[in-house]
Amino acid sequence: MEKAKIIAHRLDGTMVKGFTQDFAPSRPDFHIFPYEGSTSHQRVQILLKDLKAIFFVRDFAGKRDYQERKNFNPEERPSGRILEVTFNDGEIMVGSTVAYDPQRSGFFIFPADPQGNNVRVFVLSKAVRMVRYL
């Protein structure tokens, strides 16, 4: 399995950055291996029950001043349905999904902004206040 660059956002607001090779939405846990420049040098076990979301990213640093686009351009044809997710902490994300089911533990969303740092996000359903189809 290929290494994925991720940032795991915990429900308590803390984050763990690194690479994973064993994440699966159906499993209760996975591991994050440190990235170059990390203060930790050991893998960390992450429990899904402790997470808000897992961000699959292009870069660990991100773009602090970047204003992420919250809509699709008319010429874009995203796969699945377009939705707006409001997290319990007030963060709002707009993207598309092919498998949203509130009865499942989570779902993937592909952000509307192709220039943003997030490639895709696995959202934990318990961390969501509201989902609205657009």
- Other CB atoms within 10 Å distance of the CB of residue 41: 7
The number of domains in the chain is: 2
Determine the Cα–Cα distance for residues 86 and 73; give it in Å rounded to an integer: 21
Residue 71 lies in a domain: no
Are 86 and 51 in a shared domain? no
The DSSP 8-state label assigned to residue 125 in this structure reads G
Residue 38 lies in a domain: yes
- Other CB atoms within 10 Å distance of the CB of residue 45: 8
Are 96 and 129 in a shared domain? yes
Residue 77: which pLDDT band, with cuts at 50, 70 and 90? confident
Residue 61: which pLDDT band, with cuts at 50, 70 and 90? confident
pTM recorded for the entire structure? 0.93
Domain range for 29 is 4-57
The DSSP 8-state label assigned to residue 98 in this structure reads S
Are 92 and 125 in a shared domain? yes
pLDDT digits (tens, 9 = 90+) for 87-101: 999 999 999 999 899
Residue 63 lies in a domain: no
Are 51 and 90 in a shared domain? no
Q: Which residues are 106's β-sheet partners? A: 124
- Spatial CA neighbour of 114 closest among 85, 86, 91, 94: 94
Q: Which residues are 97's β-sheet partners? A: 81
End-to-end CA distance of the chain: 34
Residue 74 lies in a domain: no
Instruction: State the pLDDT at residue 75.
Output: 84
CATH number at residue 12: 2.30.30.100
Instruction: State the pLDDT at residue 118.
Output: 95
Residue 73 lies in a domain: no
